[in-house]
Structure 1
């Protein structure tokens, strides 16, 4: 049986104060703490103009990659409200989920996020494009076929609009 090294870094989702994601991310970076804040471009409308801005993709969330003993330092950062808990323990995420989220954020596909509990369906794999090899599920949502990546520890599902010709069933 292999020993588990408690000193290894893990990704943890953290909850921020409302509209404090960018400032909390900067404060963590200033402390030398590895953090990831998924951002997406959004066209904002003001009364006199329109402007493209980068907005947090998951409102009030960001991710930190730390050792377990560094949790206190994260909590003492301005803008950080708390860690997320799952089954009574601080939730952590596998590196693979963060890598997939980064890949999705870099893709040219239109993304949408929903807190709906999407029901699992047929497993598929994307066979072409920037997300080639990505595995997901087909869901029925607003009468379109879409690929859904579940981030269960956050309670969200990310929906990617993908043409049916780009997927293989297995």
Structure 2
């Protein structure tokens, strides 16, 4: 059964999953025919007896669905999904551009780190060169001359990106 509507009312929505259920919830949504996106970050994990490369969700307990508002109930009935994310009392919708930017970040060879600190708004920028060219974000902090902390709107978290400060334009 395909849930995603074919009209222009479809939007990206962030959803919160049960703890450590992101991959199972994603698989269940895809099986239902829902367009979903789960950004995974590849990391080397060290145990006492071995090392192993694993794919972990970039943002713990989050994934994104592209649906019409009328399909929210069906998404909530999916195993592993806890709730939609709300901002100002409404289900948060994200512009397509933000998901495209997130996909671009994930496709780059940059090392990404996500932080959920309560950060204050700063200056809006656009990256002007390199694999992240065109991404628009908000500078939260300069960690060093080559490391910026950026916030993507409506995501509820910030991403630390390694990009030279000389490669950004202030908007």
What's the TM-score, normalizing by structure 2?
0.86
**Residues paired across the two proteins, number:** 165
How far apart, in 1, do the equivalents of 2:28 and 2:59 lie?
18
Q: What do the CA deviations read for 1:92-145 (whole angstroms, capped 9, x no partner)?
A: 111111111111111111211111233344444323211123333444344455
SS in 2 for 1:77: coil
Task: Specify whether residues 142 and 66 from structure 1 end up closer, same or farther in structure 2 by C-alpha distance, changes over 3 A only.
Answer: same
Point out the more displaced range, 115-124 or 53-62. 115-124
What's the TM-score, normalizing by structure 1?
0.86
Structure 1 unaligned regions, length at least 5: 1-5
Task: Specify whether residues 79 and 160 from structure 1 end up closer, same or farther in structure 2 by C-alpha distance, changes over 3 A only.
Answer: same
How far apart, in 2, do the equivalents of 1:105 and 1:65 lie?
18
Corresponding residue number in structure 2 for 1:51: 52
CA contact (8 A) 1:139 1:146 kept: no
Corresponding residue number in structure 1 for 2:110: 109
Corresponding residue number in structure 2 for 1:28: 29
Point out the more displaced range, 148-157 or 134-143. 134-143
CA contact (8 A) 1:138 1:146 kept: no
CA contact (8 A) 1:8 1:67 kept: yes
Corresponding residue number in structure 2 for 1:100: 101
CA contact (8 A) 1:136 1:148 kept: no
CA contact (8 A) 1:122 1:138 kept: yes
Deviation at 1:7, TM superposition (A): 6.0
How far apart, in 2, do the equivalents of 1:123 and 1:89 lie?
25
CA contact (8 A) 2:34 2:65 kept: yes
How far apart, in 1, do the equivalents of 2:96 and 2:14 lie?
12
How far apart, in 2, do the equivalents of 1:85 and 1:152 lie?
13
Structure 2 unaligned regions, length at least 5: 1-6
